[in-house]
Structure formats: C-alpha cells, structure tokens
Structure 1
Amino acid sequence: MGHPGTPLTDFTRESEPEKVSLICRLLRQSPPGEFGQVVQDLYALVKDDELVRQEAAHVGAHHNKKNFTPVQVNGSTVLLTHYNDLGGNRFFYPQDKFSFEFDHLSGITSKTHLHSVMLDEEELWRGALHKGLNTYVNCHFPAGNCCVFKKSLGKRQMFVACIEAHEYQPLKHWNSLWKSDWTFALTPIMTRVTGVFLLQLHYFKDANLHVTIRKSVSESLHVIDRNQFVSDFVKFVKTEDDKIHTAILQNIQALSEDMWRKDLRRKLPITRTFMNWNDISYKEIGKVGWQRYGGAITRFF
C-alpha cells in the first residue's frame, strides 16, 4: 500500500465487527489531507467495498468537521464545522445565506438552497467580525480561510470564530494543518474570549513523523462598540498567533541544538567542513510548516 500510516494487516480473516472496529480506528487516525488515501488503502486491504464506504461516510463527516475542512460552493469557501451543521449532511454559510448538502466520500456539494437569517443586531456583529477576521487571515496566511458563526448555549448567544489553513504536499512527503477557534459572548462592558489552537503535521519522507500541538488561551476584552471590539478581537488573535508561531520555531531551534549537542557531534565523522545546522533544521523540518520571505518568517499554513 502506498500510504505510510496504513498497516499491512490481513483483514479478510477478521469477523465483520472486528473489521468495522479496525476500519474506524484507522480512519479516525487519518492525518488531515490523507483521509481519502486511507479509504483507498482500506478498499484493497479489507476487500469489502460496501463496508468500507459505510464506515468511511460516518467517520468522514466527523473528520471534516473536526478539521474545519474548506469546500467551494457557489464561488465561496465554506468551512465544514460542528457550528454550521444542520444535520443530514447539510451545512449553511451565514455570510452568503445559503445551505448545501455535502457528500463526505466524494467531496461533492449539491442541493444548494437559500438559508434565511434574521438581520438583527447580533447578525450585524457577526458580519463585522467575519469581515475583520477575514482581512487578517488573507494578509497573514497564504492559504487561510475563516468564518464566524453564532450558536446558542442555554439562554446565551455565543459567537465562534474559526480559522483554518493547510498545506498538503503528499508528493513532497508532508501534510500540515493549522486551525483555531475563538468563542465568546457579547456581554456588556467586558467579555471573555477563549481560543483553542491545533497544529497537526505529518512528515513521511525518511520516517513516519506525526506532530500534534494544542494550546488554549483566554483574555478579557472590552465591549464598547462594534468597530472597537472587532479591532481588539483581531489584534488579540494576531498576538496569540504570533506567540505560538514563535514558540514553535524556538522549539525547533532547541531540538536542533539538543540533537547536535547530545548525539550528532559524537557520531558524525570529522571532516573539518563547516555546516550551518540552523539552516538545515529549517530546511528539513521547518519548511513543513513555515517559509522565509525576504528575511521574515511567515506561516505556511
């Protein structure tokens, strides 16, 4: 099989419940951008296409919503999330006020309909937040997407801002996803914004390396008027993005230095040739997530 994460197991000898358990476990472990390839591998391994399709459709829905998978609908990029899930594989896009059906196996959208949304004060805030966040994402992520949703939590109306950016390079042996969601209520004077980051990386050129980074942040922001809050919210998101980005780069640097100090310097032959280890670490590891542009480091995700 071509996919590095799928073990060569003889599924044909297993009972159907055992096959279902194994299929679901492997599908749930699929890194972002590799779900379809794992499904293809399972067709060959299990030799029961109907069973694989059945389980893949169910797990695929969870996979797409968990990873904020972007899809193109009517010229707009829509994120598939738990926040805009209408049930029955239908999703809505609050920005352009439509809903659609999505096939999680084929990736095909269909049955697009208008989705009415009351144009109240909360919807005006949601639209302003989306516009401000979208401007930031377009400037700081080469291939980023975002959307702001409303959700009810008991009697409270909450807002959830979702950001997704990915780079899938299977021919270069790596795939990566950067996503975050930001939850808050518009309470008078002050509100608490909670953000959750998730970074996933799969590198499989010379090894099968999986990296997952999670981080939660929280900050209280003043709520004076719409323009002020949107500006402060976007500044907060940018500040936290920069912090985690810088921390990851510092960890890559520390890892490189630690490997050199504890292992490489004892095992490599003495050639009296100068090697720029920092440059190597960025090229071989850092390029999976970041690129340098004119001396500045920019998110690749």
Structure 2
Amino acid sequence: MSVGQGLYESEKVSLICRLLRQSPPGEFRQVVQDLCALLQDDELVRQEAALAGAHHNKNSFTPVLVIGNTVLLTQYIDLGGYHFFHPQDKFSFEFDHLITIISKTHLHRVMLDEGELWRVALHKGLNAYVNCHFPVENCCVFKKSLGKRQMLLVACIEAHQYQLPKHWNSLWKSDWTFALTPVTTRVTGIFLLQLHYFRDVNLHVTVNKSVRESLHAIDRNQFSTDFVKFVKAEDNKIQTAILENIQTLSEHTWKKNLRRRLPVTLTFMNWNELLNN
C-alpha cells in the first residue's frame, strides 16, 4: 500500500511541494525518486518537481557547465521560462531542472561599458581567491542596471561536498551585492552553510550570517583587491566561529544536555554485538 492512497489531489500536491522545498543540497533528485516510490504517482511528482527544481537550484547556486565553462544558477541570471544568461561567456541557455540538461544556447552581444569593465575586474580577482582557498569552488559576478546611471553588481561564491555514499552532504555559499556609487559603496554579504548527515541519525545544520562594509569605489582594480581582502577576512571569521561552536557543542551538549547521555568514551553502544554474545 502506497502512502498516496487515501489522499486528495490537493493534499498530494501540498505534500510534494513541501518536501521538495525541504530537499537538502545535492539530494533533490533522490527526494523526487523517493516521492515517486511513496506516492505511486510519477506524473504528479515530476510535474511539481519541474517547478520546485527551479527554486532549489537557484537557492543552492547550482553550478552547471555551459559550453565548457561553469555558471551558477541564481535569480540574478534568470531570464524567465527556464532560460538563463551566462555573464562571463555571454550565452543564454535553457535548463531543464528535473533532468538537468542544457539546451538552446545562444550567443549575445554585450556592450563593453563601464559596468561590464567593473564586473570583469571583480570576477578576475574573486576567481583567483576562490581557486586558492576552496577545494571545490565556483564563483560568478553579475550586473544589473538600476537606472540610467547606476549599476548593481552581485558576486556569488559556491562550494559543496556531496558525499551520498558516505551519508553526508554540505553546501557553502555567499553572495555580495553593492551599487556602483562615487567614492564609496556599501557592500552587503550573506553567508549560508548547510550540512546534512544521515547515517544512524538525521542531522541538519544551517548557519546564516550577514555582514556589511563600506569600500572605496574609485578605481576598479583597487576596489577588486579591497573587495577580495574583505571577503577573505569575513570567510575566516565565520569559519573560525563555526569551529569554536563545534568545539563548544562537543564539550557541553554531547556530554551534558542529551536526553540519553553518551558514555565517557563518547561512542555508541554496539547492541547487536552484545546480543549476539
């Protein structure tokens, strides 16, 4: 008997959407497969997954390979109708969020104006930084016009470790936004760390943080250097804070606050071995 039996169509849709939106990074397709098996309604699950997949991929900054180069799927390059724009190579493309296939690539002409020169300089500096400090990394810089004389730039960083055979997945992402304004500009950064461990337990960890700083915006190359220094400093701060919190968790929570305390060795009891003996 499937879980879907006895549920109204609207209840199935609500259940599917809720579970798909809760999919941990790197596990969306597995959740789709599990829902198909549980509800025994592949057509309905895939119909809703096509819509939820767009939200999941943009929210996770999913990297995709377009004609040999990687671009991050984000809201900043969404052209609508499953179409996206690759700012570095000036391609638009269509992306199927369910089967993750790229199609209908088209080359676009982009004016080499002042905003594009700033975007290129920023991408070059940020790319050099992430290549040195992240084991599996991707970054993109996007621009958006706010009017005739103002430009919004957004820099996105994504790093992940998807280890399904080892029962854990993790995602690190950050996005940095600022408008090109004379003399100084206000940079806002948002960090997100997600971790899912699912062997013996189902453990979800989410860390959020936002930061702000004012940087001089006179020379684009100098701004790129200052911006990368700022990002590096904030990356170090949040990683140090996470490690300190993990240490505190290990020393206090696991030892004192668990409903069922672990033994002094901090290891789980092998009950099967004891029963067999």
> TM-score, structure 1 length as denominator?
0.84
Please say if 1:246 is aligned against 2:246: no
* Cα-to-partner distance string for 1:197-256 (whole Å, 9 max, x where unaligned): 000000011210000110000000011211110000000000000000000000011111
The separation in 2 between residues aligned to 1:144 and 1:103, in whole angstroms, is 23
Partner of 1:40: 33
Distance 1:243 1:126, change over 3 A: same
1:37 & 1:66 partners in 2: Cα distance?
17
- The superposition leaves residues 107-140 of structure 1 with CA deviations (integer Å, 9 ceiling, x where unpaired) of 0101111022111011011011011100001100
Corresponding position: 1:54 with 2:47: yes
Question: 1:65 matched to which residue of 2?
Answer: 58
**Deviation for aligned residue 1:10:** 1.3
Q: 2:208 aligns with which of 192, 214, 219?
A: 214
Using a 3 Å threshold, how does the CA distance of structure 1 residues 263 and 59 change in structure 2: closer, same or farther? closer
| 2:78 alignment partner in structure 1 | 85
- Look up the equivalent residue of 1:68 and give its one-letter code: F
Q: 1:260 to 1:209 in 2, by over 3 A?
A: closer
Structure 1 position 186, deviation (Å): 1.3
- Give the drift of 1:153: 3.8
The equivalent residue for 2:225 is 231
Displacement, 1:261? 5.0
Contact kept in structure 1, 2:254 and 2:262, CA below 8 Å: no
| Structure 1 position 202 matched with structure 2 position 196 | yes
> Which sits farther off after the overlay, 240-249 or 40-49?
40-49
Aligned partners of 1:212 and 1:263: how far apart in 2? Answer: 20
Structure 1 unpaired stretches of 5+:
1-7, 270-274, 281-301
Deviation at 1:146, TM superposition (A): 0.4
Q: 1:94 aligns with which of 87, 90, 93?
A: 87
Deviations 1:49-89 (A, max 9, x none): 11111100000001101110001111101110000011111
| SS of the residue 2:75 aligns to | coil
CA distance in 2, matches of 1:261, 1:23: 38
AA partner of residue 268 (structure 1): P
Give the alignment partner of residue 112 of structure 1, picking from 105, 114, 121.
Answer: 105
Match of 1:180 in 2: 174
Is residue 27–residue 39 contact of structure 1 (8 Å, CA) maintained in 2?
yes
Give me the identity figure in percent.
75
Q: Which residue of 2 aligns with 1:286?
A: none
Cα pair 2:195 2:204 within 8 Å, conserved: yes
Number of equivalenced pairs? 264
Q: Take 1:247 and 1:267, find their aligned partners in 2: how far apart are those partners?
A: 25
Alpha-carbon contact 1:92-1:115 (below 8 Å) kept: no
8 Å Cα contact 1:94/1:117 also seen in 2? no
Q: Distance in 2 between matches of 1:68 and 1:193?
A: 20
SS in 2 for 1:188: coil
Secondary structure in structure 2 of the residue aligned to 1:112: strand
Q: What code does the residue aligned with 1:38 have?
A: V
Equivalent residue, structure 2, for 1:121: 114
Tell me, yes or no, if the aligned pair for 1:174 and 1:204 is still in contact at 8 Å.
yes
Q: Which amino acid aligns with 2:144?
A: K
1:268 aligns with 2:263: yes
* Structure 2: gaps spanning 5 or more residues: 268-277
Report deviation, 1:161. 0.3
The structure-2 alpha-carbon separation of the partners of 1:14 and 1:261, relative to structure 1 and needing over 3 Å to count, comes to closer
Q: Which residue of 2 aligns with 1:166?
A: 160
Alignment partner, residue 274 of structure 2: none
Structure 1 stretches of at least 4 aligned residues deviating more than 2 Å after TM superposition: 152-156, 259-264, 266-269
Aligned to 2:185: 191
Distance 1:112 1:267 in 2: 56
Equivalent residues of 1:28, 1:63 under 8 A apart: yes
Greater shift, 147-156 or 232-241, is seen at 147-156
